[in-house]
Structure formats: structure tokens, C-alpha cells
Amino acid sequence: MKEILSGNEAIARGAYEAGVKVACAYPGTPSTEILENTIRYREIDSSWATNEKVALEVGIGASFVGARSLVTMKHVGVNVAADPLFTLSYTGVNGGLVLVCADDPELHSSQNEQDSRNYAKFAKVPMLEPGDSQECLEFTKLAYEISEKYDTPVLLRTTTRISHSKSVVNLGERTDQVREAKIEKNAAKFVMLPGNARVRHVVVEDRTVQLSKDGCNMPINRVEMRDAKVGVITAGISYQHVREALPEASVLKLGMVHPLPFDLIREFAAKVEKLYVVEELDPFIEEQVKAIGIPVIGKEIISICGELTPGRVRKAFGLPENAQAAVEKLPGRPPNMCPGCPHRGVFYTLNQLKAYVSGDIGCYTLGFMPPLSAMDTCVCMGASIGMATGAAKVLSPEERKKVVAVIGDSTFLHTGINGLMDMVYNKGAATVIILDNRITAMTGRQENPGSGHTLMNDPTNAVDFELLCKAIGVKNVRTINPLDLDECRTVISEEMERPETSVIITDKPCVLIKREGIFKAGAPLQVVDESCTGCRACLKIGCPAIEWVPASGKKGKAHIDPLLCNGCDVCSQLCKFSAIQEAK
Amino acid sequence: MSDKVTNIVLVGVGGQGILLAAEILSETFMLAGFDVKKSEIHGMSQRGGSVVSHVRYGKEVFSPMVPEGEGDILFGFELMESYRYLSLLKPGGTVVVNDLCIAPPSVLVGQETYPADMALKIQEFCPDCLLVDGQNLAIEAGNARAANTVLLGAVSKRLDIEEKYWIEAIEKMVPKKALEVNLKAFQMGRGLK
């Protein structure tokens, strides 16, 4: 059967066909939809883990007792999961284990542009890289075979343009030879104490050599001879751009990017006049080809930064650019917090209080944007609290009061809680605001341990943030309504004054939550024209539902779009002239 | 079947339903027997940011991204965004654009003004430009939310694909209760000159 699937959907399908029993992940763009699709298959136990390290450990546990498991994350998630990954390389697997890491060249939705292929080499684990959705399905299945045959976890690397592109896929059936789980003890393999690990390290090195040799005969590493003048070594999405931009060039398409099939590369290099490597991000293939003494052109013509496009490949090879329209500069259109978003009032308050805001990763990172302009740092998941502790350690007592960490519910449970424990333990003096909107919003509303539901939509325990904070020793824990600006200002300023750790929890759900009874929109508001003086106070919250109409009245007036307004009432609290009222 | 790949670029503002329209296009082309690729960036798309989706079909499609200056049709849901991505269109390409302006954040707060004459500027580069009053036609069809389907109808008229494949794709992708209105909206779009 044929279907149009995204790379992520095809990976989920491939896992199903491969007989996977457990799938585990922490959401992260562009990887999120893989687990949102494994739930279509009831044979797979799919779950959101609290973070990527836990997700991988869940996968490892299932693998060690014999089942096939799938673990997925975005590129920076692999940093979190790196600790188990590096030793998993030594233990190897029992049931096949595939770790999907989705890179984000061009930083469409990420804080850095790291190239995960380096992890394959660093952790000494094979890595496959599909070039379209059909390959996503086939490579996923192949990855399980490689995993079990070579006793190794396998990395499957996608990029945004693979994960989020759709193409036609031929579907298969689920294997009828699904591995059953049962306890099989094997301490020498699974207990990585030095004595055992020394033995396993040798196994790992031999495995890499063997895979490099066997890779020369794997059909996923294939030579396509056309004009022998130009030979290109490439993989993944770059292969598609090369075929588009250089239809006559001969190509060595690598399906396995680590370890490289060196003999095949030598053979291909000998057949072509001039050899190139076309790859996004780091010169990962290029440096290794150079290291075996083969001259090759790569990063001299292809940028290390950003993603490739057919046009960028054409340009790199000196081909003329297509004629195209010259467009004049336009106002940008960055994303914005939604109308009625419970974060808006908090960031407005932090801006007014001139706080030094140690930020984190989520929708609320948009609090950085003007006019809210109330975020001063953003480094990685969970970093806000630790960074606040560090800043508070060295600032003067006056400036120390300004330090406020903001972190979402899911991010707090991911890796923020460790930072808070550290802050309390080491008597840090800063304010932590947990923006609890009951969902992992930024990646598209995924459940988390605070939301009360699992990925499979079962009701479950919901973490009690107040009790949790108290249990780890925070004495000052207060819960506020973030849509009440007076309450925000009073409570946040009081806690900022306090010379010890305090936590403020905001208690309003994300406006995008669809589950009934959680988010309730208020009645839409309107601006009463006669009362609006054009003071622009309501514009300071940057709500997409409020528009400045310069031509209205003498100096302009505000207008509220009733179709966008969620009736949160934050703007009306800013209006001194009672010009914002419920729409009639 | 010729080797020519046809390139469509869909642009607009997050939340306008661009991704669904791109899905319907892709499904139609697959049903008509073509190889299809579609690429877009989501993640932030629900939060009012600029959204671009590329749909390509033909005998064999390699890159999922429309090469700069090779777009055959620009399918615009909003005027400024359509103008912003004109560089993806080939000279002499076709534009079908919704006659709608959505103010970006800097315009909402009065720091910048929405650029004037967007439709004229698009037409300057691209004389084959159809400006569609999507919203009012959709209201006429029975629901303001069907504006995208009116536009889709207008786009479908400019592609050499049998009508039955469009209908089949719409029937598959649109929820049942909204189907009648959407089929009507589609026909209204197809009727536009």
C-alpha cells in the first residue's frame, strides 16, 4: 500500500514493521511526531519520558531483556542522553535498539546547530542517514537488523528536511517474528565495571572495523555512475539537493555515515576525475576521506553553517543562479505568544520590575521578544535555575534581588528540578518562577508528568509542584494567577526582595489545550472608541489580538480582533480609562 | 509522463491552515499517479510566524524544496507573505493569492506600518496573478473557515490534474461535517477566472 508520509511518520511505521515493542522519547522539534505516530500501533508501548536520558534508559532496559526498542529525540537531546549512550556502546544490546536523533541545520527551532554525526564517531556506534520517507521506513527496519547482528545500538539521523518532509512510501507488514522479552542474566556484558568494560572496549573497536568493511557491500551505500568528471560523496537530504542541482554528476550515496566504507570510497574516488563531498554542517565525511589520503573538495565551497538547498548547491559549484524577483525589505513576522497566553502577564511584570531573567526553553522563550523584552539568558533545557544560582553567588546584594529564573512545567521536570535542589541545598538566593501551563506547549502540546495524562491518553498521577518544591526544602512557595497583574507584581516583587530561595508557581493552562475542562476562554473584549485616548498602554503586552490603528481618532487608537481575543483580561487591567470592556 | 517537475509554494501566517492545504495538494498528486514531495517548517507554525510549504510533483522528484526561482505557482494565504517569498517563483509564474492583510507584531504595536500596495507589487513581477476574496466567497459557500478551499479551487484550475482526484483528496482530508461546504467552496474557487 502507498501513502504519503513524513520522515517521522515513516520511522514510526518502520519501527512497527520491525516488531518494536517499546518506544520512548522526550518531545523536541523536529523529532516529536515519531512518538505521536507510534501510538497509532497498539502493539507498541509508547511513552513520553521526563527527559532524553530517561527515555534512552527505558529503551535500554527493554532491549536488555530482549525486546526491540525505539528511542527518539532532537539533536540537543542526545547531549542529555549521552551518558547512557556511551556505555551502551560497550554493553551492546539484546533486543535491537535504535536511537533516532533529529538534527536541525539552519536552526529552524533550536538553540544550536550541532552535527550529531560526531556522536556516532565519539560513541563508536553505527549511524544510518535516510534521504527521504521511504528510506526512513527501510533504514529503521535495517537498523534493527544491524543492531542485533553487530550487537550495538544504532543511531538513525534525520534532519528537519527529512523529518518534516513528506513523500510517497510503500508500506509493509509487521514482522511475525517479534522478539519476546525474558530475563537473561549476563553480567560480563551488562555490568560495566572496569574489568568487564575493558573486555567490551576491544569488542567495540573490532565491531567498528567490521562494520566499515561490511559497509562496502551494503546496498544502502551505493555508487551511481554518470559523468565521471564530477564525483560527489553525499548522504541524507544533501543527496536530493545534489541530484537536483547536478543531475549529471556521479554520486556515492552513503546510507551509513558511520563507520564509513573506506574501500568503497577509494574505489569511487579512483573512478572520477574530481571528487567532492557535499554535506551539511561539519566536514564529517570530508575529514575522514582526507585522512585516508584522498584529495577531496568540501567545505571550501559548502558552508559549515546552515542547511543546504538546491540553489546553495548550484552556487557552490559555480552554476548560474536562476532569475528571481528582488523583494524589498519587509517587517518581519516572528512567532508570538498566543492571545490569552498565561505567560504574557508574568513577562510584562518582570519587565516592569527590571528583573534579570534567567530563561529556559519553551514557548516562554518568546518573552525575549519586544515589547515584553523580559528574558536575558537562554542556554539549554533546565539551565535557568542553575544559572540563576551562579549569578546570585557573585552579584552585589542589591543586584542579586533582580535575579529571577523562569522555567516551564515540562522543562522543570526535565532537568530543572536538579537545579532547584542545588539552589536550596547551597542556600542560593534567587527567585524561581515555574510557569505551569499543564502541557509541553512549544513542541505541540505533549503530555508530561505534571499534566495528569500519558502519551497513550491514560489518566495518571500529576506532579504536585508545590509539594515537590517543599519536599526538596524550599520554604517559600507561592502559587499565583498569572492573568492578575496586581497579584503578579505584588508576589513577584516580594519574593525578589527575599534573601533566600523562593518559588512562585503560575496556575493557568495553555490556551491551546484541547482536553475538555482545562482551558476556558473568557468573553472577547473590545475597545470602546469614545474612551480610548490612544495612550498605547495596552500595546505593551504585545498581544496578537490588539492592533494599533494609526488612522483612528486624532493620534490613533487600539482595536481588538474579537475572533482572536481569548478574553484573558490582561489588557483591560492596563487601561486606565476603562476603554477595554467585554464585547457586546 | 514528462520529466518536468511542477513546483508549488504555499505561504502565509501560522494558524491559517497552510499545512492542511499542502496535504490536500500532495494527496491529490499522489492519487493522480505522480511522485510527490512536500517540505515545510513547523513547530512555531501555530504561533503566528511566517509559514512556507513546498509541494513538488512529477515523474521523479529529488529535493523536497522548490529551488529558488523555479516555482510554477505561488499559493498565497496572505499578501505580505506572498510578496516576501516571490523569489521562489520563476519569472512568468502564476500567483493565486488571498486578498488579506494580517498585521505582524511590529505593525500591531505601531512600530512599523504594513507595506502598501502589496498586490500591485506582486502583479508587477507576476502579471498572471489572481487576487481572491477568499473570506467573502467562503461565507457565500457557507463558512468563513473554508477560505483556503476557495483558494485551492482556484489553484486546481491552473494545474493539469483531473477534477476527480481533487475531490477524492478533499473527501479524505476534510472532516465529514465540513465536507459539503468545502466542496462548494472548492467549486467556487474553480469557477474564478
Hey, what domains does chain A have and what are their CATH numbers?
A: 2-215 (3.40.50.970), 222-316 (3.40.50.920), 343-507 (3.40.50.970), 525-582 (3.30.70.20)
Mean pLDDT along residues A120-129: 98
Report ipTM (2 d.p.): 0.95
Instruction: Answer whether A548 sits within 8 Å of B109, measured CB to CB.
Output: yes
pLDDT at site B44 = 59
Question: Residue A325 — very low, low, confident or very high, per pLDDT cuts 50/70/90?
Answer: confident
User: Would an 8 Å CB–CB cutoff place B113 in contact with chain A?
Assistant: yes
DSSP 8-state secondary structure symbol assigned to residue A576: T
Instruction: Answer whether B69 sits within 8 Å of A322, measured CB to CB.
Output: yes
pLDDT at site B45 = 56
Residue B26, domain CATH: 3.40.920.10
Task: Report the gap between the CA of B190 and the closest CA in chain A (Å).
Answer: 25
Task: Report the gap between the CA of B97 and the closest CA in chain A (Å).
Answer: 17
Is 80 exceeded by the pLDDT of residue A494?
A: yes
- Residue from the list A314, A331, A335 with its beta carbon closest to the beta carbon of B49: A335
pLDDT at site B61 = 97
A581 vs A526: CA distance, rounded Å: 6
Is the omega angle on the peptide bond into residue B91 within 30 degrees of 0, that is, cis?
Answer: no
pLDDT at site A581 = 96
CB of B35 closer than 8 Å to CB of B61: yes
Q: Grid cell 473527501 — which residue? A: B171
3-state SS string for A249-293: EEEEEECEEECCCHHHHHHHHHHCCEEEEECCCCCHHHHHHHHCC
Instruction: Answer whether A109 sits within 8 Å of B44, measured CB to CB.
Output: yes
List residues bridging with A90 in a β-sheet: none
Alpha-carbon torsion (A369, A371, A372, A377), positive or negative = positive
Instruction: Answer whether A323 sits within 8 Å of B90, measured CB to CB.
Output: yes
User: CA dist A242 to A112, A284, A469, B95, Å?
Assistant: 25, 17, 53, 28
DSSP annotation string for B32-65: TT-EEEEEE--SSGGGT-EEEEEEEEESS---SS
Residue of A166, A238, A564 for testing the chain B interface, max B β-carbons within 10 Å: A166
Give pLDDT tens digits for A58-100: 999 999 999 999 999 999 999 999 999 999 999 999 999 999 9
Instruction: Answer whether B43 sits within 8 Å of A29, measured CB to CB.
Output: yes
Q: What are phi and psi for residue A41, nearest 5 degrees? A: -110, 110
DSSP annotation string for B158-176: TS---HHHHHHHHHHHS-H
What average pLDDT does the structure give for chain A? 97
B139 vs A165: CA distance, rounded Å: 33
Instruction: Answer whether B110 sits within 8 Å of A550, measured CB to CB.
Output: yes
Closest by alpha carbon to A17, among A180, A170, A219, A161?
A170
Residue of B38, B40, B109, B118 for testing the chain A interface, max A β-carbons within 10 Å: B109
Residue B1 lies in a domain: no
Q: Grid cell 506532579 — which residue? A: A463
Task: Report the gap between the CA of B160 and the closest CA in chain A (Å).
Answer: 20
Give pLDDT tens digits for A396-420: 999 999 999 999 999 999 999 999 9
A388 vs A356: CA distance, rounded Å: 9
Residue B152 lies in a domain: yes
User: Would an 8 Å CB–CB cutoff place B105 in contact with chain A?
Assistant: yes
User: Would an 8 Å CB–CB cutoff place B30 in contact with chain A?
Assistant: yes
Residue of A248, A324, A361 for testing the chain B interface, max B β-carbons within 10 Å: A324
Terminal alpha carbon distance of chain B: 28
Give pLDDT tens digits for A309-318: 999 999 999 9
Q: CA triplet A30, A506, A521: central angle to 5 degrees?
A: 75
List residues bridging with A547 in a β-sheet: A559
Question: Residue B86 — very low, low, confident or very high, per pLDDT cuts 50/70/90?
Answer: very high
Task: Report the gap between the CA of B112 and the closest CA in chain A (Å).
Answer: 7
- List b or e across A134-163, with b for residues whose CB sees 16 or more CB atoms inside 10 angstroms: bbbbbbbbbbbebbbebbbbbbbbbbbbbb
Mean pLDDT along residues B92-100: 96
Instruction: Answer whether B87 sits within 8 Å of A327, measured CB to CB.
Output: yes
pLDDT at site A324 = 84
Give pLDDT tens digits for A255-288: 999 999 999 999 999 999 999 999 999 999 999 9
Range in A240-244, A428-432, B15-19, B43-47 with the lowest mean pLDDT: B43-47
pLDDT at site A62 = 98
Chain A residues with CB inside 8 Å of B46's CB?
A: 338, 444, 512
Task: Give the count of Cβ contacts less than 8 A between chain A and B.
Answer: 174
Instruction: Answer whether A160 sits within 8 Å of B113, measured CB to CB.
Output: no
CB of A288 closer than 8 Å to CB of A260: yes
Q: Count the domains in chain B.
A: 1
Q: Residue A422: CA atoms inside 13 Å, Cβ hemisphere, count? A: 16
Residue B150 belongs to domain spanning: 6-190
Give pLDDT tens digits for A498-550: 999 999 999 999 999 999 889 999 999 999 999 999 999 999 999 999 999 99
CB of A35 closer than 8 Å to CB of A25: yes
Task: Give B143 or A140, the one with higher predicted confidence.
Answer: A140
pLDDT at site B41 = 82
Give pLDDT tens digits for A503-517: 999 999 999 999 988
User: CA dist A192 to A86, A90, A186, A187, A439, Å?
Assistant: 11, 8, 11, 8, 37
- Residue from the list B35, B65, B107 with its beta carbon closest to the beta carbon of A310: B65
Cell (9 digits) for B59: 515523474
Cell (9 digits) for A543: 498581544
Residue B184 lies in a domain: yes
Give pLDDT tens digits for B23-46: 999 999 999 999 999 999 865 556
Instruction: Answer whether B41 sits within 8 Å of A334, measured CB to CB.
Output: no
Question: Residue B1 — very low, low, confident or very high, per pLDDT cuts 50/70/90?
Answer: low
Cell (9 digits) for A360: 529556559
Residue of A31, A161, A333 for testing the chain B interface, max B β-carbons within 10 Å: A333
User: Would an 8 Å CB–CB cutoff place B2 in contact with chain A?
Assistant: no
Task: Report the gap between the CA of B89 and the closest CA in chain A (Å).
Answer: 7
User: Would an 8 Å CB–CB cutoff place B91 in contact with chain A?
Assistant: yes
CB of B58 closer than 8 Å to CB of A185: no
Cα dihedral B51/B52/B53/B58 (nearest 10): 170
- Residue from the list A161, A332, A334 with its beta carbon closest to the beta carbon of B64: A161
Task: Report the gap between the CA of B84 and the closest CA in chain A (Å).
Answer: 7
User: Would an 8 Å CB–CB cutoff place B11 in contact with chain A?
Assistant: no
- Residue from the list B47, B67, B107 with its beta carbon closest to the beta carbon of A335: B47
